[in-house]
Structure 1
Amino acid sequence: MPREILLNAFDMHCVGHIQQGLWTHPRDQSTRYNTLAYWMELARTLEAALFDGIFLADVVGVYDVYGGNADAALRGGVQVPVNDPMLLIPAMAAATQHLGFGVTANLVYEAPYLFARRMSTLDHLTGGRVGWNIVTGYLDSAARANGLNQQMAHDDRYDLADEYMQLVYQLWQHSWADDAVVADKASGVYADPGKVRQVHHHGKQYTVDAMHLCAPSPQRTPVLYQAGSSPRGRRFAAQHAECVFLNGQSVAGVKAIVDDIRALAVAAGRQPDDIKFFLGATVVTGATAAEAQDKFDGYRQHVSSEAALVHAAASLGVDLARFDLDEPVDASASNAITSNVAAINRSQGPQWTKRKLLEQMVLGSRQPPIVGAAGQVAEELIRWTEQTGVDGFNLSRTVAPECFVDFGRLVVPELQSRGAFKTAHRPGTLRDKLFGRGDRLPSTHPASHPAMVPAQPAG
């Protein structure tokens, strides 16, 4: 019997997310991205299809590496314009009862004290259905927009993130006792001052002397997502993450990352099942293989090669416009997503070219699509879980919302018939739904360590 697969929709508060150019398809509705109605309808669709959540990506800069400016990104709608994803969550939560919300926020440009309050607020308003995708960014344009000349070095960004996490853990987990809120109308006492502690953090990057502004939310700490696959990123994930998002070109490559992060987590004092792994997947399906192939062929007519290269150039940190189609691309000095560079070097060899890169981007991204009848897709997803150890998938948007409707209508029943997908939503917070161990972080997580507890009550 296969394991039960977990499933997120993978989307972004913009027109062109991963599969570049598909917003031009006549059935695509992603140009409605700036309306609440669009996102509330999508949330209802995903909940009806029993998705566990929607994973909202984000960037706080523009893709200006290709050609040295943002012109091509603007022409192709390559993740610009892009709106704040956090503001979507209360509306989508109001339209649903069970759907979870993983939201990306770049900690480099977020003041930790105010960010902690924002996430606690979302956890309260969603009834404990929120998660945070911890990112440190990869765009120099984001650094310049926030008053810096360029972004920090790759590993230094993770060092910053380690301190950031220590601080927000103290605020979320240890500032307020669970029973600090009395709400006694007879006595007029709302919160017991003796059960609220000040956080005194004086670190290399951050200084905070304050109590957390929010009372304990259902999960206290949001479910923690992370997507780093570099050696430094893996160590960070093993220490902090509950859910790790992977992209992979081969079964062996994905399995190696899963096994390595799990081993690192155990070495850090955590349990192997403390982390769930989600693999990025692109699916084009139909009632028959022929129908799926026809749909795929139609999608391909709308792929933008230029937009795909714009996205790739930013993630690789290399101006691909400077290279001819068959000229070897030098990405050795990248300070962007170093695991992306390593993945291309593994799959194509160190002398890869733009032509080879474009041959991978059949739907406008490097993520190879799964194309087939619903039963074929279900079998392929099950195969990936069995052979790599991943727990589920982040399903990338192609033509929206058609791709998610198709998956729920066709693939979900096939997965259910094979015992690989739930038949109803379970009650509880997002953490409890994913792990079945309650609302709060387990004692094995570093945020639960007694050393985190502030020494003095707030009064």
Structure 2
Amino acid sequence: MSKKLIRFNAFQMNTVGHQSPGMWRHPRDNSHRYTSADHWTELARLLEEGLFDAIFLADVLGVYDVYAGDTDAALRHAIQVPLNDPLALVPLMASVTTHLGFGVTCALTYEHPYTFARRISTLDHLTQGRIGWNIVTGYLDSAARNLGLQKQLSHDERYDLADEYMEVVYKLWEKSWDDQAVVRDKESGIYTDPAHVHAINHHGKYYSVPGIHLSEPSPQRTPLLFQAGNSARGTAFAAQHAECTFVSGPSKQVVKRYVDDTRAALKTAGREAGDVYIYAQALIISAESSEAAKAKYQDYRQYIDIDASLALLSGWTGVDFSKLPLDATIDYIESEAGRSALASFSSADPGKKWTVREAAEFIALGGRGPVLVGDAREVADQLEAWLDETGIDGFNLTFALAHETIRDVVEFIVPELQARGRYKTSYSDGTLRQQLFQRGSRLPENHIGRNTHIHNTLADAA
């Protein structure tokens, strides 16, 4: 029986460094070029050469200001600041590729569904159906404050809002325009048949959107849906909506628990396990030989910056790690920030007690996922073990140095996996959804988005 293929996404951000704080200081790192169009078109070509499924673009709308109570550490160490808009990168990268997908992170808590739906439809048109959306609710109070709120909504209320948000965008994308609405009949002078365009008449607790969607149906209508929350509420949300999920954990035990929870939630939601691909975060450090790869890893470790790592970890978790000794153990603390970030170092892995220093050193290279070091054969062995022992479908690959890390994956790891029959040798045609799942461009018939109906929801808000 043939073994399951290993899938790759590239985990990037329109900023310096992203998941490897401190590595921007390395003499070979080029992440400071993130403001250059060439930086992103070079990366897009490289990823398509390596047959990556997509580039997964992270984003936040605030600054990491939990550590020591201010933004100084984030600014000093370039902890995801300065930061530019991820959506603007998509047309650039799409123009030099034909198959690579684009998963963009947009926090629905701070973006009105009416304007957001048009922005995504526009990108789906411009990419010929290669756009995906990473659905997040946000986790930084600094973002909420800069968008007019005293603080962000509570964790669970953010998901209450998200449930209604999804209802609105599904109505706009899936129900407002019929397939036959756009006729483009030059003889009759009718471009769009009004009888086939419908106001969505949405009036709910959080949103009132009475009118029609501004965009005609795009190739996928609804973008491919990613989701990255691993809390109980986040997992239940993913089981309803996601087509791909993204998990992060430092050990196979942690990742397998997330995978098992997601598969169980899918069953509860009436969906099949194969309806959702699960990607786990990882960093690959490879070279032409095992010795060269290990030397590269040790070279990178010289640039680990504990202060920078703790500023990042504090922002993820809402816990100010400047107040804790480096040898203190990390215990799970309930917070309204990123619950899964802290849980991955505490309660999710009961066999391991992480100290603050250990967690900081761990995330300094590649964030909260494993670091896989070795030549092509050694890394391929590790990738296969992670996939086969945890049940994931692929990896969201971070980088240590831009674009050296990804170039090494394309040069060394992809050919080795292909030789083992564990990686695709060509792209298939079609939209991002068609390429991944070998099915139609639109959401499948059993998806909640296809079964959302236009009706007046004013009574629901009472």
Q: What count of residue pairs does the alignment treat as equivalent?
A: 454
Which blocks of at least 5 consecutive residues in structure 2 are unaligned? 457-462
Q: Which residue identity is paired with 1:100?
A: G
Structure 1, 340-349 or 32-41: larger mean CA deviation: 340-349
SS in 1 for 2:162: helix
Q: Could you tell me which of 396, 405, 408 is aligned with 1:406?
A: 408
1:318-397 equivalence runs, <5 A: 318-328=319-329, 332-346=333-347, 347=349, 352-361=354-363, 363=365, 365-397=367-399
Q: Which residue identity is paired with 1:384?
A: W
Distance 1:287 1:328, change over 3 A: closer
Give, in whole Å, the separation in 1 of the partners of 2:372 and 2:240. Answer: 32
Q: Does the aligned pair in 2 maintain the 1:320–1:329 contact within 8 Å? A: no
Give, in whole Å, the separation in 2 of the partners of 1:164 and 1:386. Answer: 36
Give, in whole Å, the separation in 2 of the partners of 1:257 and 1:301. Answer: 32
- Provide the residue aligned with 2:433 in structure 1: 431
Distance 1:351 1:49, change over 3 A: closer
- Provide the residue aligned with 2:96 in structure 1: 95
Give, in whole Å, the separation in 1 of the partners of 2:135 and 2:122. Answer: 17
- Provide the residue aligned with 1:68 in structure 2: 69
Q: Does the aligned pair in 1 maintain the 2:19–2:364 contact within 8 Å? A: no
Deviation of residue 367 (structure 1)?
2.7
Give, in whole Å, the separation in 2 of the partners of 1:355 and 1:10. Answer: 25
SS in 2 for 1:72: helix
- Provide the residue aligned with 1:444 in structure 2: 446
Distance 1:135 1:385, change over 3 A: same
Q: Which residue identity is paired with 1:151?
A: Q
1:110-169, CA deviations, whole angstroms, 9 ceiling, x for partnerless residues? 010000000000000000000000000110000101011111111111111011001100
Q: Does the aligned pair in 2 maintain the 1:2–1:386 contact within 8 Å? A: no
- Provide the residue aligned with 1:200 in structure 2: 201
Q: Which residue identity is paired with 1:200?
A: N
SS in 2 for 1:33: helix
Deviation of residue 330 (structure 1)?
6.0
1:106-117 equivalence runs, <5 A: 106-117=107-118
Q: Does the aligned pair in 1 maintain the 2:224–2:243 contact within 8 Å? A: yes
Q: Does the aligned pair in 1 maintain the 2:249–2:368 contact within 8 Å? A: no
Distance 1:351 1:27, change over 3 A: closer
Deviation of residue 350 (structure 1)?
9.5
Root mean square deviation, CA, Å: 1.6
Give, in whole Å, the separation in 1 of the partners of 2:262 and 2:332. Answer: 25
Q: Which residue identity is paired with 1:150?
A: K
Structure 1: 4+ residue segments shifted above 6 A = 348-351
Distance 1:131 1:168, change over 3 A: same
Give, in whole Å, the separation in 2 of the partners of 1:395 and 1:58. Answer: 16
Q: TM-score, normalised by structure 2?
A: 0.95
Deviation of residue 344 (structure 1)?
1.4
1:6-405 equivalence runs, <5 A: 6-328=7-329, 332-346=333-347, 347=349, 352-361=354-363, 363=365, 365-405=367-407
Distance 1:383 1:351, change over 3 A: closer
Deviation of residue 333 (structure 1)?
4.0
Give, in whole Å, the separation in 1 of the partners of 2:332 and 2:76. Answer: 25
SS in 1 for 2:35: coil
1:343-366, CA deviations, whole angstroms, 9 ceiling, x for partnerless residues? 211347797542232343452634
Give, in whole Å, the separation in 2 of the partners of 1:279 and 1:329. Answer: 22
Deviation of residue 438 (structure 1)?
1.4
Distance 1:267 1:49, change over 3 A: same
Q: Does the aligned pair in 2 maintain the 1:2–1:418 contact within 8 Å? A: no
Deviation of residue 329 (structure 1)?
5.2
Give, in whole Å, the separation in 2 of the partners of 1:294 and 1:437. Answer: 44
Q: Does the aligned pair in 2 maintain the 1:49–1:408 contact within 8 Å? A: yes
Q: Does the aligned pair in 2 maintain the 1:167–1:201 contact within 8 Å? A: yes
Q: Does the aligned pair in 2 maintain the 1:328–1:351 contact within 8 Å? A: yes
Give, in whole Å, the separation in 1 of the partners of 2:3 and 2:272. Answer: 22
Distance 1:384 1:364, change over 3 A: closer
Give, in whole Å, the separation in 1 of the partners of 2:139 and 2:37. Answer: 29
Q: Does the aligned pair in 2 maintain the 1:271–1:444 contact within 8 Å? A: no
Q: Does the aligned pair in 2 maintain the 1:304–1:364 contact within 8 Å? A: no
Q: Does the aligned pair in 1 maintain the 2:10–2:398 contact within 8 Å? A: yes
Distance 1:126 1:433, change over 3 A: same
Q: TM-score, normalised by structure 1?
A: 0.96
Distance 1:81 1:94, change over 3 A: same
Deviation of residue 78 (structure 1)?
0.5
Q: Does the aligned pair in 1 maintain the 2:282–2:366 contact within 8 Å? A: no
SS in 1 for 2:256: helix
Q: Which residue identity is paired with 2:383?
A: L
Q: Which residue identity is paired with 1:199?
A: I
Structure 1, 209-218 or 339-348: larger mean CA deviation: 339-348
- Provide the residue aligned with 2:459 in structure 1: none
Distance 1:362 1:212, change over 3 A: closer
SS in 2 for 1:86: coil
Give, in whole Å, the separation in 2 of the partners of 1:258 and 1:407. Answer: 25
Structure 1, 78-87 or 361-370: larger mean CA deviation: 361-370
Q: Which residue identity is paired with 1:246?
A: V
Distance 1:352 1:249, change over 3 A: closer
Deviation of residue 254 (structure 1)?
1.8
Q: Provide the identity percentage.
A: 52
1:223-265, CA deviations, whole angstroms, 9 ceiling, x for partnerless residues? 0000011111100000010000001222233222222222222
